[in-house]
Structure 1
Amino acid sequence: MNERYAEHKRYLNRLKARKPKKLDEAFEQLHEEVFEEVDCLACANCCKTTSPIFTDTDIERIAKHLRIRPSDLIDRYLHLDEDRHYVLNSSPCTFLGSDNYCSIYEVRPKACREYPHTDRRRMVQILDLTLANTTICPAVATIVDRLQHLVPA
């Protein structure tokens, strides 16, 4: 999906080594700017290709919303991955509708609420994740493209 992956990788690796002071502010600015232009419902690639981590709190909240026991939610939809995190059994997400709307949006996992993680503090610590997300989310690829003009490496 990201045809500029190699360029983005070189750039983000240089940023990681340099640790520019205003990196968080630049990401936050670009996050706001790009998500004013992007309609996530037109894409939903994150929901179609990856699974968030479901915390115990997420599982309890979602189970309550669905009016099932947390153990039933786990049995029906989740499994433990190699890192011992609960993730979805399959892709696309079980809760994603054909219209790209999430049927549990108001109680979705924390990882979904925070995705694509381009508006948080200490971005330098998650530049590897940011690079990976450029292959999933076109908005992240756009943010990194624009970042190169704002924050030289």
Structure 2
Amino acid sequence: MADQNKKENKAFLDRLKKKKPKDLDQQFHELHEEVFDEIDCLDCGNCCKTTSPIFQQKDIERMAKHFKMRPAEFVTQYLVEDDEHDFVFPAAPCPFLADDNYCMAYEARPNACREYPHTDRRKMHQILNLTYKNTLVCPAVSDIVEQIKINYANR
């Protein structure tokens, strides 16, 4: 559905970014709770299959400790530095994604994974470009944006 609505979603989120509605965070947070009461991420795992989180130094240290490695070893074995000088996985899927969509490093996972899909953050208007990209990866984000479009159309 998100693929079919790509242009519409992009235009809608661009308009929201300019308007900065005062209740935007509240809308996202309420819908985040509703949607994730219905959707089980383990049924999908698309985020882990298609994208890489950005690893901050604390993430590297936590993951290295989890796997009983030195941080430099973890970087050498699992990460590359991208064009923006961020540490990421060299390819998808995540090397820690099991066949049943469970994460083999769940307790130590990077902050970007902990916060994904970022639909319960404050100041949502600041990350609507990311939200758009996430509609193409995460069915839950797509559902949230579709509902927000309906809510704002009724105003």
Question: Which TM-score band (shorter chain)?
Answer: over 0.9
Structure 2 residues not aligned, in runs of 5+ = none
Query: 1:45 aligns to what?
Result: 46
Matched, 1:68 2:59: no
SS at match of 2:28: helix
- 2: distance between equivalents of 1:112 and 1:45? 12
Deviation at 1:54, TM superposition (A): 0.6
Instruction: Give the alignment's TM-score, normalised by structure 2.
Output: 0.95
1:24 aligned residue: 25
Structure 2 CA distance, aligned partners of 1:38 and 1:3?
21
Question: Does the 8 Å contact 1:48/1:92 carry over to 2?
Answer: yes
| Cα distance in 1 between the residues matched to 2:5 and 2:98 | 30
Which residue in the other structure is 1:77 paired with? 78
The residue aligned with 2:60 is: 59
Quote the sequence identity (%): 54
Which residue type is aligned with residue 134 of structure 1? T
Higher-RCO chain (CA-CA 8 Å, sequence separation at least 6): 1
Look up the SS of the partner of 1:3 in the other structure: coil
Q: Is 1:143 the counterpart of 2:144 in the alignment?
A: yes
Task: Write out per-residue CA displacement over residues 90-112 of structure 1, whole angstroms, 9 at most, x where no aligned residue.
Answer: 21000000110000001100000
Distance 1:22 1:48 in 2: 33
Query: How many residues are treated as equivalent by the alignment?
Result: 153
The 2-side partners of 1:103 and 1:136 are apart by: 21
Q: Distance in 1 between matches of 2:92 and 2:18?
A: 35
Which SS does the other structure have where 1:116 is aligned? Answer: coil
Aligned counterpart, 1:35: 36
Partners of 1:2 and 1:139 lie apart in 2 by 14
1:110 aligns with 2:111: yes
Which residue does 1:101 correspond to in 2? 102
- 1:148, distance to aligned residue in structure 2 (A): 1.2
* CA RMSD of superposed structures (Å): 1.1
User: What letter corresponds to residue 114 of structure 1 in structure 2?
Assistant: E
